[in-house]
Structure formats: structure tokens, C-alpha cells
Amino acid sequence: MLRWPRQILFGDVDAMFASAAAVKDPTLTGKPIAVGGPPPRGIIAAASYAVRAFGVRSAMPTAEALRRCPHLQLIPPDRPLYRRLHDDMRRVTDRLFPMTEWGSIDEFYADTTDLQTRHPDPRLLAQLVKDSIFEATGLRCTIAVATGKTVAKIAADASKPDGLAIVEPGREAAFLLPQPLRALPGIGPKTAARLEPFSIKTIGDLLDPRWDQVLARMFGHRLLWIRELAQGRDREPVIGDRESKSSSHETTFERDTADPAFLEDVLRGFLRMLARDLRQEGLAAEGCTVKLKDARFAVTTRQRRFSHPLNYDPEMWPTVRQALHELMKPHAQYRLAGLTLFSLVPIPAGLYDQRRRKAVQAMDTIIARHGAVIGLGGVCDDDNE
Ligand SMILES: [Mg+2]
């Protein structure tokens, strides 16, 4: 069997919340159920495949869903159940893969390039993952294997439910060609609607030189990147996250930015919030990772260790700030910034002297009551920014 230069496996549970309800109560299996809040104001959070046939979709008002499918059975969300199933799935992926990136509670990427010696056939590996997750949780998922994250995700979406898709190296462009435009990340329903009059409907249409000018006008400098992606060229790395041992936050900006002061403000805000969470949980972090995604969707990260475990943000900030500045490239425009605090450990004895511990605790109580509108300035002498 041919060795792939790069191999990414993507997994996605089918109708996670609705399927979870059926795991808890098997009599609901195959029934027209949806998870969501009651009308008039409730929204559908997840629809089982049995009600999708009636046109019920997630994010639809429950009242509308009930009009389309009057015998729909509404199930209230059960977060502890989802959490438990997620943890069970994580135990499976931790056992199978050296590193997994969970994009949400029910979706993950794993870089399986180095597993090819042990699992030379990607189809057998994908089946093993499917079976192992089903065995551990009772949840069915769709698995796709490709040379990049984007193609793997699109292949899985096209193979749901209970699917298994392999896009061999070199077959990416041919696979993407007939796929609908909206399947491509970065093309939302609005953009798709604007392209419709030109009968640009599939990913393949994006490559048609007839539309060069139309597309250049619409996408500007992003066109190059979109066309790369449309041919399945995508080097975005799988970034491992160990949720139990790290804590992170990220945001996508309304418009791309090259402003270091703005990025500093954003990360400083994340750090304040994450550090407060650590203090409340009695934890400290051994290091931080700053993540930036540029206007072409290229992700870069920089990792730094603290001299010792910390959970007081003014002490952590110089290291985070340094990582940010090492990462920023001149003239680059950024669309997303994120911060992870990793290697979380129980607070070592003697991290603070008594006086400062009291001051920080008092501040956390006020923040908990009134939100994070007040800083720590004035309470501790080293926080004077
Ligand atoms: Mg899913």
C-alpha cells in the first residue's frame, strides 16, 4: 500500500445531541426527535435524521420545526450527558492517536501520517475508529481520511450519516470539483448567493478562468488562497489540545487586523479571563501558546514556558506578549487570535505570599459578581498597565 506524504483523519458524530438522547433512552432510536428549547422562543439545537427529512434544521425556531414536523418529539438539552460522551470519545482518540485536535464537542482531527506503518490501509484505520467510538459510547460517526483538513471535512460532510470516506493523494481536486460551493470554508451562504447568478455553483466552477474577473472582484487577494483550497491544497496543521491539561480561548475578528496594540489588548483580555479561571480551580500553568490565523487562513503558533507555574496574569503577561511579537510578521493581516495556557498543575505551595493571595481572592470575588470590567490595578504593585 502506498505511503501518503501527509494523512489527516477527521471524525464527526452524526447528529450528536439527538443521538446522545437515543443513547440515554434507546426507545428514542430512529424516532423523530430534536433537541432544543420549547416554543415560542426556543431554537432547535440538533435534529435527528428522521426529522431532517421534514426540513427541520439546527438553529431553526422550534415553532417552525413543529409546523414542518408536527409529531416531532422535543428533548431538552442534557449538557452533563454530552460532556460524559465527549470524555469517552476522547479516551478512544487518546488511545489511538498521538495527538488529537477537537474542533468542537463532537468533531476532531488527527494527523495519522506517522501511524501508516502500523495502519497501512486508511480504510481499515477509519473503520477501527468508527467501531471503537461506537463501542465506547453508542454514537455513530462519520470518518474521512485525506491529505488535508479541508478535504477531510468536506468528504465527511458529503458522506453523512454513518459514513466512511477516503480521498487518496492526488484525487483531491477531482473529489472537490462537483461539491457545492458552500462546502468550502470561507464561502458562506451570502457569498454563495452572490455567485449564483453567474452559475458558479460548485467548487470546480471557482477554477473556471471565465470567472477570473468576477471572482477577483469578489474575493480580492483571498482568491489565490480560495483557489488553492478548491484544489485541495491545504497545509493547515493539526494542533493538539489536551483539554484536561490546558485552557484556551480564541476569537475571529470582524475585520482583519495588522495592529499590534489591538492584538495585545485581545490576548491580554483572554489571559485575564483564563488566569482567573485557573485561580478559581486552584491550578497554575507551566506555559502558554499564542495562535494567529492570517487573512489567508494560515495558522501559526508560538509556545513559551514560564520560569515556574503561574496563575496571576500580570506575571504571565510579559511571556505571552513576547510570544505574540515573535509570531507577528510585518505587514501580515490577522483574522483570528487565540491563547492557550497548558501543562496545568495544582497550585504549588508558596506561589503567593499571604497578603497578595488575599488581595487576588478579593478581586476574583468582585469580578465574579460584576464581570471582568475592573482590572487588578491598584491592588498589586506590579500591575500598572
Ligand atoms: Mg456532528
12 has pLDDT over 50: yes
**Poorest-confidence range of 20-24, 73-77, 254-258, 357-361?**
357-361
Beta-bridge partners for 375: none
* Residue 180: pLDDT band with limits 50, 70, 90: very high
Q: Is 315 found in the same domain as 222? A: no
Q: Is 224 found in the same domain as 275? A: no
* Residue 376: pLDDT band with limits 50, 70, 90: very low
Q: What is the pLDDT of residue 380?
A: 33
* Average pLDDT of the residues in 158-178: 97
Top-confidence residue, 352 or 19 = 19
**Whole-number average pLDDT of the chain:** 87
Q: Is 345 found in the same domain as 303? A: yes
213 has pLDDT over 70: yes
Give the CATH number for residue 330.
Answer: 3.30.1490.100
* Residue 355: pLDDT band with limits 50, 70, 90: low
Instruction: Quote the ligand 1 centre to 16 CA distance (angstroms).
Output: 5
Q: Is 310 found in the same domain as 282? A: yes
Q: Is 299 found in the same domain as 220? A: no
Q: What is the pLDDT of residue 146?
A: 98
Q: Is 364 found in the same domain as 253? A: yes
Q: What is the pLDDT of residue 379?
A: 34
Distance CA 73, CA 31 (A): 8
Q: What is the pLDDT of residue 370?
A: 56
Q: What is the pLDDT of residue 73?
A: 96
Residues 291, 300 contacting (CB under 8 angstroms): yes
Q: Is 250 found in the same domain as 354? A: yes
Name the domain count of the chain. Answer: 3
Name the catalytic one among 107, 168, 286, 315: 107
The answer to the question of residue 127 being in a domain is: no
Residues 51-77: tens digit of each pLDDT: 999 999 888 899 999 999 999 999 998
Instruction: Quote the ligand 1 centre to 207 CA distance (angstroms).
Output: 29
Q: Give 237's DSSP letter.
A: P
* Residue 349: pLDDT band with limits 50, 70, 90: low
377 has pLDDT over 50: no
**Poorest-confidence range of 17-26, 179-188, 203-212?**
179-188
* Average pLDDT of the residues in 263-281: 89
The answer to the question of residue 128 being in a domain is: no
* Average pLDDT of the residues in 147-168: 96
What range defines the domain where residue 57 resides? 21-78
Give the CATH number for residue 194.
Answer: 1.10.150.20
Q: Is 290 found in the same domain as 205? A: no
Q: Is 324 found in the same domain as 211? A: no
Helical residues (DSSP H) of the chain, grouped into ranges? 16-24, 49-52, 62-68, 79-96, 122-137, 149-158, 172-176, 189-195, 212-219, 222-230, 260-281, 313-327, 354-370
Distance CA 29, CA 252 (A): 37
State yes or no: is 107 an active-site residue: yes
Quote the percentage of the chain above a pLDDT of 70. Answer: 88
Q: What is the pLDDT of residue 128?
A: 97
147 has pLDDT over 80: yes
Q: Is 270 found in the same domain as 218? A: no
The answer to the question of residue 325 being in a domain is: yes
Q: Is 268 found in the same domain as 178? A: no
Q: Write the DSSP string, 109-142.
A: EEE-GGGTTT---HHHHHHHHHHHHHHHHS--EE
Instruction: Quote the ligand 1 centre to 179 CA distance (angstroms).
Output: 19
Whole-structure pTM value: 0.65
169 has pLDDT over 70: yes
Instruction: Quote the ligand 1 centre to 101 CA distance (angstroms).
Output: 15
* Residue 220: pLDDT band with limits 50, 70, 90: confident
Q: What is the pLDDT of residue 85?
A: 94
Distance CA 292, CA 303 (A): 12
Instruction: Quote the ligand 1 centre to 229 CA distance (angstroms).
Output: 22
Q: Is 328 found in the same domain as 267? A: yes
315 has pLDDT over 90: yes
150 has pLDDT over 90: yes
Q: What is the pLDDT of residue 241?
A: 66
Q: What is the pLDDT of residue 335?
A: 93
Letter string b/e over residues 199-208, b meaning 16 or more CB atoms within 10 A of that residue's CB: ebebbbbbbe
User: What phi and psi, each to the nearest 5 degrees, are found at residue 222?
Assistant: -75, -15
Instruction: Quote the ligand 1 centre to 44 CA distance (angstroms).
Output: 14
Top-confidence residue, 225 or 122 = 122
- Cβ contacts of residue 182 below 8 Å, gap of 6+? 188, 189, 192
